Amino acid sequence: MREFARRAALVTGVLGAAIGLTTTTASATATLSWHVAPSGPFTAHAVYPTLTVPAATFPCVSSDVTAGTLAATSATGNGIGNINNIKFTTCKIGATDFAMTMKVTPWKIDVAAINVTNPQWVDGKISSVSAHIKGSACDVDLTGTIPVHYENDTGNLVLPGTGTTLIASSASCYNLIKNGDVVKLKATYAVSTHPSVTTP
Amino acid sequence: MGVDVRYPAGRNSRSVRVASVAAAAMVAGLLSGGGSAADEGNKEAGTAAPVTIEYDCKLPSGAVRAAVRIAAAYPESGEAGRPMDPGPVTVGMSLPRSGLGAALPPDTTVVQSTATLAVQVAQNGRTAEAQWNGLAAPGAPVPPQGDLELSHQGAVPTVTVNAPGVVALTAGRLTVEVKPLVASEDKDPGAGLTFSCDPAAGESGRFATVTVPGATESSSPTGSPTSDDPGGKQRKGIALGPQDGPVTAAEKLCKAPLPKGKLDASEAPPAPKLPDGRVPTEYDVGAGMQTCSYAVGLANVRKLNGAMIINDPQKKPVQIGIAAMMHTAFREPDENNEGYYMRFDSLGQLDLPDAESTFLAFGFEPVSAKVRFENGPITVSTGNIGADADAGVFSTAYFKQSLRLYDVKVNGVPLDVGKNCGTSRPFKVVLNGGARYPNVFAGGILEGDVTIPSFSGCGTGGENLNSLFTAQISGPGNHVVMNQGNACVQDQPDNTPCPPLIPALPTSLPKAP
């Protein structure tokens, strides 16, 4: 029986990892359930986000989630939040401006696990990301996911800018951004409601 | 010296004074503003003196008065049978920002716009209607309040008449399509706004006249429908060039040399050192985007108190070829938003036509010389130091150059300087533009001071003339100002100005702060 439980745990662990869940060491077969308080609508503000591609790095002056929601509970953590509207202000390629806008809304906030080194942090990602960069003579689509962690102590949603899962396509931008380029978005958003995100 | 080189042009019976005053006139003409160039009726876009016509525009907010400035360099006189082509024209307008209402989302920072102007061409009682289509203002910043300045440029149909008489050009309806380029993220960028404007009451709309000399014919009624020309379209006497834009695909091809050689960004501003020791990432983008444009300018020779025109816009200027965005260097800002560095490097090649220089040796001997420029590859670097808006924008062009002198004449008498008279070694030319030169596609102003080294190899038959030229020319503080026009990107001949437009000579601008 114990052998069966152990193998079941192993399978669950492997499957869980494949679909974005991790199990805590204490409970081999439980799925996490997450709680957010306060839940409901939120906004968020970041100063000086940057976008980095293999050939260049582009600064913006700020970025805002102007409409977002967080669920009070989530069994898996997937889609625990929605980013309904996000905007980026005064982004530049060299001396010229460009705009970055959502092509699809909402983007999803998924949480996965408590960070192994910092128990105040919750690891996760932003998924269903679809955005468009437009400048004078620059057009690029961005699609994929962005790794994040949320800090319960500071109330910051941090995009460390280290992910490799947001990819450029339909790119025509001075040869600086090419199809297939990894695009790294780095920003720290202060979440207006400073929720606590906990599990179980 | 006895001659004040800033006196206006004049004539004098003594030959030395004639030559020196002519040199003074050349200097005064070169260093004056654009107005004198317009009087000469040259064909650079934007240097013809604009004519202002008040227009009434139908905007969503109601009728709005707008000032429209038409600059079209038609010559004062023409020839029967020869097409009159003003070159690229400019139709500028100042539009109150408030007049555009909801058509421009409030966060709009840049708009592009296209204009069509109906132009009536009349001579001897006959008229023809031309459409100036597709005049483009590619990117205009939108002020938070005040006027939006749109400057539409483009080629227009030619006019050919085959009779003498005065040809009058009159502006009619102006149709403008304005589109936001960087829109508020809360709204669909939208289709923008199309509106039309007509000359205000009391405005004739006349902006140019060309006199075709000769005995005027007796007037005869033409242009009205006849049985074999029911549309009255066969305009006897006035022919218009092709209306869809006269540029063929072949004409859109770059005529610039392909840049050869290595990038050298050593004269561009480097990234400031950071406490964390991070240095910029160097990245080779590739072979670069092939572009061509025109760079024209002035080179002052300080010791001579005179100037040469570089790549004279009026004398078959040559294109500069730039392989754009070959290499980048960049560093992300740290958590305090410090240390941001972004630099784009492009490689250019400018094989300049020879220039002519006239100067006074020792203050009184008029000397003329032809100058050949031997230019090495040009590295153009643009970018930012620091991420704050508009802070630390830089632009630098760096190349090495040698000068060769030939066809030298002293007081009109040829002086044989031999075949190798020139600068004793190549010298550095470093030009900077700051925000006045945003990138190699937009072009702009670059300027700097050049040190001309000593001359060598001058003189034949044992006569050594090196010191004549070294004394008169060599030394520091020779100011160079260049104006590069918008670039044609060879792979995008319909989205970029192909062929590229020839910009105006820069006037003596104050240096960027």
What CATH number did the domain enclosing B214 receive?
2.60.40
Alpha carbon B2 to its chain centroid, in Å, reads 37
Candidates A158, A174, A181: best to mutate against B (most CBs of B within 10 A) is: A174
Whether residues B172 and B49 share a domain: the answer is yes
Nearest to B139 among A66, A136, A161 (CB): A136
Nearest to A97 among B109, B331, B344 (CB): B109
Whether residues A11 and A55 share a domain: the answer is no
Whether residues A48 and A96 share a domain: the answer is yes
Which chain B residue is nearest to residue A131, measuring alpha carbons? B185
Candidates B185, B331, B334, B496: best to mutate against A (most CBs of A within 10 A) is: B185
B339 torsion bin: left (phi>0), alpha (psi -120 to 50), beta (else): left
Whether residues B209 and B107 share a domain: the answer is yes
Whether residues A25 and A60 share a domain: the answer is no
Domain final residue pick, B243, B275, B309: B243
Residues B265, B493: Cα–Cα separation, whole Å: 29
Q: Nearest CA of chain B to the CA of A60: how many Å?
A: 8
pLDDT of res. A16: 47
Residue range of the domain that includes B176: 33-243
Determine, for residues B186 and A87 on separate chains, whether the beta-carbon distance falls below 8 Å: yes
Determine, for residues A90 and B389 on separate chains, whether the beta-carbon distance falls below 8 Å: yes
Number of Cβ pairs closer than 8 Å across A and B? 98
**Six-digit token pair at B407?**
């066809």
pLDDT at A136 over 60: yes
Residue range of the domain that includes A19: 1-31
Candidates B113, B335, B337, B342: best to mutate against A (most CBs of A within 10 A) is: B342
Which chain B residue is nearest to residue A134, measuring alpha carbons? B182
Whether residues B373 and B469 share a domain: the answer is yes
pLDDT of res. A33: 92
Say how many domains are in chain B: 2
**Residues in chain A closer than 8 A to B183 (CB atoms):** 99
* Pairing of the two strands B444-452 and B413-415: unpaired
According to the 3-state scheme, what is the secondary structure of chain A? CHHHHHHHHHHHHHHHHHCCCCCCCCCCCCCCCEEEECCEEEEEEEECCEEEECCEEEEEEEEEEEEEEECCEECCCCCCEEEEEEEEEEEEECCEEEEEEECCCCEEEEEEEECCCCCCEEEEEEEEEEEEEEECCEEEEEEEEEEEEEECCCCEEEEECCCCCEEEEEEEECCCECCCCECEEEEEEEECCCCEEECC
Whether residues A83 and A5 share a domain: the answer is no
Residues A88, A62: Cα–Cα separation, whole Å: 6
pLDDT of res. B363: 66
Determine, for residues B324 and A134 on separate chains, whether the beta-carbon distance falls below 8 Å: no
- Residue B267 placed within a domain: no
- Residue B264 placed within a domain: no
For chain B, the residue count is: 513
Determine, for residues A85 and B183 on separate chains, whether the beta-carbon distance falls below 8 Å: no
Whether residues B146 and B210 share a domain: the answer is yes
Nearest to A175 among B182, B286, B330 (CB): B286
- Residue B277 placed within a domain: no
**Residues in chain B closer than 8 A to A137 (CB atoms):** 441, 489, 492, 495-496
Whether residues A21 and A78 share a domain: the answer is no
Beta-carbon contacts of B234 under 8 Å, excluding residues fewer than 6 positions away, are: none
Whether residues A27 and A81 share a domain: the answer is no
DSSP letter string over B202-262?
T---EEEEEEE-SPPPPP---SS-BTTBTT----TTEEE--TT-S--TGGGS--SPPP-S-
A133 pLDDT tier (thresholds 50, 70, 90): very high
pLDDT of res. B433: 94
Task: Encode pLDDT of A8-62 as tens digits.
Answer: 555 555 554 444 444 444 444 455 699 999 999 999 999 999 999 999 999 999 9
Whether residues B181 and B239 share a domain: the answer is yes
Nearest to A48 among B182, B183, B337 (CB): B337
Determine, for residues A88 and B384 on separate chains, whether the beta-carbon distance falls below 8 Å: no
pLDDT of res. B146: 76
Contacts 24+ apart (CB under 8 A), A69-73: A69/A39, A69/A40, A69/A41, A69/A42, A70/A36, A70/A39, A70/A40, A70/A42, A70/A109, A70/A193, A70/A195, A71/A36, A71/A39, A72/A35, A72/A36, A72/A37, A72/A39, A72/A40, A73/A33, A73/A34, A73/A35, A73/A36
**Six-digit token pair at B331?**
């560093």
Candidates A64, A96, A172, A184: best to mutate against B (most CBs of B within 10 A) is: A96
Whether residues A38 and A13 share a domain: the answer is no
As a dihedral over the C-alpha atoms of residue A185, residue A186, residue A192, residue A195, rounded to 10 degrees, the angle is 100
Determine, for residues B389 and A92 on separate chains, whether the beta-carbon distance falls below 8 Å: yes
Residues B19, B365: Cα–Cα separation, whole Å: 9
**Residues in chain B closer than 8 A to A86 (CB atoms):** 185
Determine, for residues B438 and A96 on separate chains, whether the beta-carbon distance falls below 8 Å: yes
**Six-digit token pair at B184?**
């508020």
DSSP state of B303: G
Whether residues B109 and B192 share a domain: the answer is yes
Q: Taking Cα atoms as reference points, which of B384, B333, B271, B328 lies closest to residue A55?
A: B328
pLDDT at A167 over 80: yes
Whether residues B68 and B165 share a domain: the answer is yes
What is the value of pTM for the model shown? 0.65
- Give Rg (Cα) of chain A: 18
Determine, for residues B389 and A57 on separate chains, whether the beta-carbon distance falls below 8 Å: no
3-state SS assignment for residue B503: coil
Q: Nearest CA of chain B to the CA of A106: how many Å?
A: 14
**Residues in chain B closer than 8 A to A134 (CB atoms):** 181-182, 189
pLDDT of res. A3: 59
Whether residues B235 and B171 share a domain: the answer is yes
Whether residues A90 and A21 share a domain: the answer is no
Whether residues B229 and B86 share a domain: the answer is yes
Alpha carbon B364 to its chain centroid, in Å, reads 35
Nearest to A94 among B283, B344, B389 (CB): B344
Is B333 in contact with B387 (CB distance < 8 Å)? Answer: yes
Whether residues B424 and B296 share a domain: the answer is yes
Whether residues A3 and A81 share a domain: the answer is no
**Residues in chain B closer than 8 A to A177 (CB atoms):** none
Determine, for residues A87 and B286 on separate chains, whether the beta-carbon distance falls below 8 Å: no
**Six-digit token pair at B218?**
């007796």
SS3 content of chain B, % helix, strand, coil (to 5): 10, 45, 45
pLDDT of res. B509: 42
Nearest to B387 among A54, A59, A175 (CB): A59
Determine, for residues B286 and A58 on separate chains, whether the beta-carbon distance falls below 8 Å: no
Determine, for residues B337 and A135 on separate chains, whether the beta-carbon distance falls below 8 Å: no
Q: Nearest CA of chain B to the CA of A197: how many Å?
A: 25
Say how many domains are in chain A: 2
- Residue B75 placed within a domain: yes
With an 8 Å Cβ cutoff, the interface of chain B facing chain A consists of 109-110, 112, 138-139, 181-186, 189, 283, 285-286, 288-289, 324-325, 328, 330-333, 337, 340, 342, 344, 382-384, 387, 389, 393, 435, 438-439, 441-442, 489, 492, 495-496
Whether residues A7 and A89 share a domain: the answer is no
**Domain harbouring A179, CATH code:** 2.40.160
| Alpha helices per DSSP H over B376-465 | none
Whether residues B217 and B328 share a domain: the answer is no
Whether residues B221 and B351 share a domain: the answer is no
Mean pLDDT per 10-residue segment, chain B (513 residues): 25 26 29 27 50 92 90 87 84 85 70 88 87 80 78 86 89 89 46 87 92 65 40 52 61 86 96 94 95 92 82 86 97 89 96 82 78 96 83 92 94 92 97 93 94 95 88 93 93 85 68 40
pLDDT of res. B163: 83
Is A125 in contact with A146 (CB distance < 8 Å)? Answer: yes
Whether residues A23 and A44 share a domain: the answer is no
Average model confidence (pLDDT) across chain A: 88
pLDDT of res. B288: 93
Candidates B332, B340, B385, B388: best to mutate against A (most CBs of A within 10 A) is: B332
Residues B473, B306: Cα–Cα separation, whole Å: 10
pLDDT of res. A52: 97
**Residues in chain A closer than 8 A to B139 (CB atoms):** 136
